């Protein structure tokens, strides 16, 4: 039997990168997948990929930084499939680079709105939908949810916030059969890195003792484990998948 047979899974930021890989893997493991993204083109492309593989999915356009969009996303999931078993709060951006004392105020607000408030809004509406029978929620944090780096104060702050929010919510709902965990990817080959030049990419590779960047499919495998019954005693935890980055 497939690991997510007949489960209903919602994934934000599923149009590319880790979200796309997770959506495809979930579908292969038997889940009905609600693909959500700000990009209609990317989101619908992922739905088509899933359907070509024989899976079931549908697309809902949503801006994770808006509470109302998160509410509509969950409501449409319930209307379509009748329940919600798994949610992956993955949507995120890197944001502008700059030192804290000169960091653009609009850049700070946008990163916090999407990367932190977006996760809270997701939890705010996903949890009530899961209360009848329980479920699993996976919030995508970062290695920078455990450590700092120069020139990305908003991103670091937001991802630290995601880790803390995950722990608080997990404690509140542990006795209600809702497990909530976070994942901390290292630097992954996703569209977020496409704008970097070759020297910068080489520098990023050098930060990982394993000697390479991660692939989104590798992160999807960890998310799958947390979504499945194989991790039934796991909640409130942070799981790094970082090629040794945090071990240094």
- Please tell me whether residue 70 adopts helix, strand or coil conformation: helix
Q: Do residues 89 and 12 lie in contact, with contact meaning Cβ atoms separated by under 8 Å? A: yes
Annotated catalytic residue 155 = yes
Q: Report how far residue 248's alpha carbon sits from residue 182's, in angstroms, rounded to the nearest whole number.
A: 21
Q: What separation in angstroms does the CA of 105 have from each of 96, 98, 100, 130?
A: 10, 11, 10, 36
Q: Do residues 18 and 220 lie in contact, with contact meaning Cβ atoms separated by under 8 Å? A: yes
Point out the catalytic residue in the list 125, 155, 187, 245: 155
Helix 67-81 / helix 118-130 crossing angle, nearest 10 deg: 30
Give catalytic residues, as residue numbers: 155
């Amino acid at each position: 039997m497939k690991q997510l047979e007949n489960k209903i899974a919602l994934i934000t930021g599923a149009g590319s990168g880790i979200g796309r890989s997770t959506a495809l893997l979930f579908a292969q493991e038997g889940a009905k997948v609600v693909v959500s993204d700000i990009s209609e083109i990317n989101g619908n492309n992922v739905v088509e990929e899933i359907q070509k593989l024989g899976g079931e999915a549908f697309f809902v356009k949503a801006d994770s930084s808006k509470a109302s969009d998160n509410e509509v996303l969950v409501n449409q999931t319930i209307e379509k499939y009748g329940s919600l078993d798994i949610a992956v709060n993955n949507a995120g951006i890197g944001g502008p680079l700059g030192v804290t004392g000169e960091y653009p105020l609009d850049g700070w607000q946008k990163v916090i709105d999407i990367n932190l408030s977006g996760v809270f809004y997701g939890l705010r509406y996903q949890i009530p939908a899961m209360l009848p029978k329980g479920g699993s929620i996976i919030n995508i944090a970062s290695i920078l949810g455990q450590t700092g780096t120069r020139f990305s104060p908003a991103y670091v702050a937001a991802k630290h916030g995601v880790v803390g929010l995950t722990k608080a919510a997990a404690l509140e709902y542990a006795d209600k059969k809702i497990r909530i965990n976070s994942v901390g990817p290292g630097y992954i080959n996703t569209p977020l890195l496409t704008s970097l030049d070759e020297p910068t990419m080489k520098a990023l590779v050098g930060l990982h003792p394993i000697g390479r960047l991660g692939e989104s499919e590798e992160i999807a495998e960890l998310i799958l484990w947390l979504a499945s019954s194989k991790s039934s005693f796991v909640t409130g935890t942070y799981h790094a998948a970082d090629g040794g980055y945090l071990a240094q």
